Structures are given as C-alpha cells and as structure tokens.
Amino acid sequence: MYAHAIINTMIRITTLVGKGVQRAARLRGGGSALPGLVVEKLDRHFLARTLDALPHGVVVVSGTNGKTTTTKMVVALLESQGLRVFTNRTGSNFTRGVAAALLEAVDAHGVLPADIAVLELDEAHAVHFVQQVAPRYCLLLNVLRDQLDRFGEIDYTAQLLHTIAMRTTNGIVLNGDDPRLTRQEFTADLTAPISRYGVDPSLAHLFPSDDTMRSAPGQATATTDTDVTLCHLSDQAATFRFDDADHPVSLKLKGSYNAQNAAGALTLVRTILQDKLDTPAMLAALAQVEPAFGRGEALTVNGQPCELVLVKNPSGFRLSLASFNPHKTATMIAINDQYADGRDMSWLWDVDFDTLRPTGVAMVSGVRAYDMALRLQYDEVEARRVVPGLKQALAEFVQANRGTPLRIYCTYTAMLALRRELAHYTEVNAV
C-alpha cells in the first residue's frame, strides 16, 4: 500500500512538472520535445507505465516512407470502430516526442483516456522505444535508402525494423512487396503472427523496391500471400481485395503510394480487431482521410490549388513524380540539407526527372537549389528560375503563375518553412 502511494505521488509530480514545462516552452516558442526530455529524466518509467495500461496496448508504425499518412489512416480506421485512440499527431516520431504528446493527453493523475495508442516512430528511435514499451502490433512499411548520413547502408535500416518486429507480441504486419521485409532472414525468428499486404502483379511496376527502381517496368516483385491486396488503381479510386471480395474505395489521398499504404492500414486494423471489425464503417472512414500536412496537402492560393509534396529519398521522389501529372501545373522544387532532411543529397542523382522535361520546372529553391538545378540539367529539364531563399522564391513562384495550379516538391525543413510562408497567402492548418 505504501509503495503504491509513493508511485501515485511520483506520477502526479511527473505530470505536474511535465505540463508546467510544456506551458513554459509554448510561451517561449520552444520545441515540442523539451517536455518529453524533462519527463524522461524525472521518471524513466513514464512511457511504459502510461501506455501499458491501455486495453489494446500500443501499435508502432515505422518504415522509410509513408509513416505519417499511414498512421493518420490507422487512427481514422480505429476511431471508426468506436475506439479512443492516442497518437503523436505533431509528427514527433521519436521517444521524447511521444512522451511530450502523452503529457498533452494525460489527466492530472497521469491517466491516458484512450483504448489504444498508434505511434509513428522513426526507424532508429523506434528501437529505443520498444526497449521501454513492447508493442502489441506493428506495421512495417518499407526499407529504402534514406538519410545515408544517419542510416548508412540500407540493410542496417532493415535490422532496425527487425528489432521492432522482434519486440512485438500480438501481430506483425509487413509489406509483402518489399524484398527486405519478406526474406527468410527477416521473418525466421519472429514470434508474433505475421500478416502481409501487397499489390496485384498487374500493378507491381508502379511500386518498385529500392533495388528495382531503375529496372524495366514489370520487374518489381509482388507477393500473392497477402491479407489485403491492392488490385485496382485509377486516379483517386482504389480497389482492395480481402475476404474473397473486392472493395472499391474513393480516396481523398492522391498518389499510388498512398493506396499501397492504405492496404497496410486495412491489414493492421483487421489484425487488431478480427471478428469484431465493422468493415463498411472502416472503408467509409478510409474514404474520408485527407493528406497529412505536407504529404500531398492541398492548399488554395490565388484561387488555385497548391500541393505540397514531401520528398526525402530516391524511391519516394520517383513515386511522387509518377503519381502527379505535371501538365497544366507550375512546378517548384525546394531542397534543404539540414539534419531533418539528411545532409547527404547524392540521392538526387538516383531520381529520374524525365517526366518534367515537357513542362520544365518553374522554380528551384532551398539550400541546395543549385545542386538541384544541375541535376535537372543532366536530365534535360529546364529550371527557369533558381532562387535559394525560400521566401523570395515562393513569392516569385506564386506571382509568376497566377491562374495556374501549383505543386511544390520539398524536403522536410523546406516544407515547414514554405508552410509558414504560405500562411501569408492562404489559410494553413496548424501542424
């Protein structure tokens, strides 16, 4: 009894101090992770104690591309089933970010009013998280070359995801079309049940792996041993096959990669809820999911749509270029090389920009603007303006293309800066 009282007191103190730091950080315009750092130092069991109490436990979503939007899909699908879902909505996809998000959600006694937690986690930081909190379920999306200065060799990223899967207790969902997630070396020692999602062989050429990205169409791998299969795709409509039936869904999410990730989200929710699942409600919820900020997010500038498309590695950039028609659209590319973007921008040379050749690129900007312009030159793509400063570049881009839809491909920090600037032109939702 005495020990229980001490623990309760510690919980209240941790929560009180954490929330106080959070308020102070907001007033000073500080980073969202600072309160999480304080809580980690004050109470190293805060994460485990808070999250382990949830009836359905913790779900981890990780992989190179698509974490943020896929997490948003999973949350929407679970909420359609009547579950209260906690998630790290700010995109702070590391342990301190999760702790900071928890402080926002818990009451004064440290109780989290939720049934399940769905957490987007960076591959490297997820390894630290799962040592503290064993997830009941995980969804692993893909293994691609990304931020070579952080992750180095691609198989190292696969090892990080394998650690997550090893710590998962109730169900593992894998992209059945990713060769590094399907190989025997990855799955042989996993103890939780494995489910897979994938695409129909007729669509395989739209989803090359990192290994096959420059191969001829049709050489990408596709698996048939899947719980959910993306079997048809046209514009923003997709058809998913499961339970021996086809289920068409109109998506607000643009891009073939979002349809593939939707198959992963469906598989995960089916794995969690099984026979308690309301399938019509789940599919209706999927149809209403909108892009996460900066991930195909559509704003309105001068009466025309302005899309922000996050790019951070060769495969993701290639899929984005394939998903968005450049005709009758003014294109801008903004490349930064800060820590959150990855310092090594050599991956730009592994992207084919041929689809932009007929239209050219209206504006190239960011810290690495001239590197990007040079890369376009090698693919015979005209870069009509090169302006490194994002504020000036955006102003010129908007002014010069009045009456024309806009599309901006941008790295992470460039995207954040551009969203702040776009707030001067249109309404921008808070992150």
**What residue ranges do the domains of the chain occupy?**
2-288, 295-422
In the predicted structure, residue 218 carries a pLDDT above the cut 50: no
pLDDT single digits (tens) 334-355: 999 988 787 888 889 989 999 9
In the predicted structure, residue 214 carries a pLDDT above the cut 50: no
Task: Answer whether 2-288 and 295-422 agree in fold.
Answer: no
Token digits of residue 286: 């999927």
d(CA 211, CA 220): 9
- Where is pLDDT greater, at 18 or 364? 364
Q: Which CATH number fits domain 2-288: 3.40.50.10490, 3.30.450.20, 3.10.20.30, 3.40.1190.10?
A: 3.40.1190.10
Mean pLDDT to the nearest integer, 103-124 = 86
What is the structure's pLDDT at 199? 93
pLDDT single digits (tens) 377-395: 999 999 999 999 999 999 9
Amino acid at 123: E
| CA proximity to 290, closest of 277, 267, 307 | 307
Cα four-point dihedral sign 201, 207, 209, 212: positive
pLDDT single digits (tens) 69-104: 999 999 999 999 999 999 987 556 667 778 778 877
Strand pairing category for 237-242 and 245-250: antiparallel
What is the structure's pLDDT at 41? 58
CATH 3.90.190.20, applies to 295-422: yes
Q: Sorting pLDDT into bands at 50, 70 and 90, what band is 367?
A: very high
What is the structure's pLDDT at 149? 44
Q: Sorting pLDDT into bands at 50, 70 and 90, what band is 111?
A: confident
Strand pairing category for 304-310 and 406-410: parallel
Q: Sorting pLDDT into bands at 50, 70 and 90, what band is 181?
A: very high
In the predicted structure, residue 20 carries a pLDDT above the cut 70: no
What is the structure's pLDDT at 124? 81
d(CA 430, CA 408): 19
What is the structure's pLDDT at 87? 92
Point out the least confidently predicted range of 34-38, 64-68, 155-159, 297-301. Answer: 34-38
Half-sphere exposure of 138 (CA within 13 A, CB side): 34
* 83-97, 362-376, 417-431: range with highest mean pLDDT: 362-376
In the predicted structure, residue 227 carries a pLDDT above the cut 50: yes
pLDDT single digits (tens) 33-69: 656 565 665 667 778 888 988 999 999 999 988 888 9
* 8-17, 204-213, 287-296: range with highest mean pLDDT: 287-296
Secondary structure element (H or E) that encloses residue 66, with its range:
none
Render 200-242 in DSSP notation, one character per residue: -GGGGGGS--TTTTTSPTT-S---S--SEEEEEEETTEEEEEE
In the predicted structure, residue 27 carries a pLDDT above the cut 60: no
Mean pLDDT to the nearest integer, 233-254 = 90
* 142-151, 152-161, 170-179, 201-210: range with highest mean pLDDT: 170-179
Q: Sorting pLDDT into bands at 50, 70 and 90, what band is 215?
A: very low
Q: Sorting pLDDT into bands at 50, 70 and 90, what band is 206?
A: confident
Place of tokens 């590695």: 313
